Structure 1
Amino acid sequence: MPQTLVIIPTYNERENIQSIVARVLSAVPGSEVLVVDDASPDGTGELAGALAARHPNVHVLHRLTKEGLGAAYLEAFTWALSRGYDRLVQLDADGSHLPEQLPDLLAAAETADVVLGSRWVPGGAVRNWPWHRLALSRGGSTYSRILLNLPQQDVTGGFRVYSANALERMQLNRVDSLGYCFQIDMLLHAVRAGLRVVEVPITFIERTHGTSKMSGAIVLEAMARVTRWGLTGRGIRRQGAAAPTPSSRLG
């Protein structure tokens, strides 16, 4: 069976990390977990280290400073690829991504290079968000995919599966977005590389413990960057370039 590594970036997630790791290992027996902690002042890294000492399938990368989601994932990808993992999963620590839905994403990964857990395809859902945050998130995804000519519906979601081969073809050294734009940037690289990208409907649930790192200012800053990308031709060109592999939806 393919060797699956579930990557969980953390910053001040002490209340959530034990539960989410246990749920991942229960949902996908035989998988392994890599916690990537950005020197959380609340002791998340120490707690993750204690988990790793008790469970051979749990590993921890202790980063020295908080440098953003993208930097954490890129370091984790390098760590995983050097150790021969076949499938790499992105999963939030706060419980918004349900580990119980991970088998559906991994099943789709049997025939796809990249699998997106999608809130905005039929069957997808968001729970417990106020209307303004829902509008901001969906509007940001719609704006980005139209401006950059991406065929996928949910371009900002962070519940994803990448094959090792896909990551090796995506020129990760050219991914320079470290914050909210990271997911869009990664998808752009995947589509440009001609990879097969599949969307699987998921249910996204607002966290119940801890504080969200997302804010309107972060989203607006990301949209400003997407606007620059669109105006400078960084998006997928409609003409004069090889057509990307079409996206599809499962579920």
Structure 2
Amino acid sequence: MNLETGLNELIAPYKNQVSICMYNTDNLVFSYQEHRQFPAASLIKLGVLATQLAQNEDLNQMINVSRTPKVGGAGVLQLLTPEEWPIKDLLGLMIADSDNYAANVMIDHLSMTAINQWLDANHYDGTSLQRRLMDTEAKKTGRENLISAFDSLRLFRELMQHYPQVHGWFLNQQFRGKLPLTMDETAEDVAIYNKTGEGPNIDHDVARFVKNGHVIDVAVLTQGFTDRLVAITLMAKIGQLIYHSL
């Protein structure tokens, strides 16, 4: 079974709930609803990261995080006592630990306007930052962060290509229970760089699989699975299919 056939079989029962975009090196090899907008969850952090790195600021610059209200959810910054942190550490926490508080500090540092202007200027037409992470009041008013599989994969690939400092953050991602699920801690012949997103009835993952010099990049976005285990199992099977195709 080839990769395309296998992917079509896996997503066939869930076509209203899934979006996929996949590249083999620089060739688009599979896409389905890749421009459909989904609630971004933590994938919006890719846009924040790309905007920050494009500023060419000194990443050792210190930021006082106390000016941004603490939020819960993923991340450890809310539990730590130092009030000043270098930008590079905040970005690392935002990606490797999916830290929501660190993300909000960076959003405040850059401004929502500047991030959206950067996204617009670089033609990320399916991506929009409308609120801070974990801002339930803003969400109640209909303000939602949005992204597409196409945009999320393009952001990820651009970051991996142009900013080598991000490689360690994605490779050491703490949330590995989706596309890398069946390989993490067991398969030593593959390196997987990834960034997840999750929320109510939302599970996303964007990843790079590297095995024997071959590279496959993929974004899988899902919404509307009432049984989250089904969505995670689907992603794990997609990751396993990619692994065996390399």
The two structures share one fold, judged by TM-score above 0.5: no
- Higher relative CO (Cα under 8 Å, sequence separation at least 6) belongs to 2
- TM-score scaled to structure 1, two decimals? 0.30
- TM-score scaled to structure 2, two decimals? 0.31
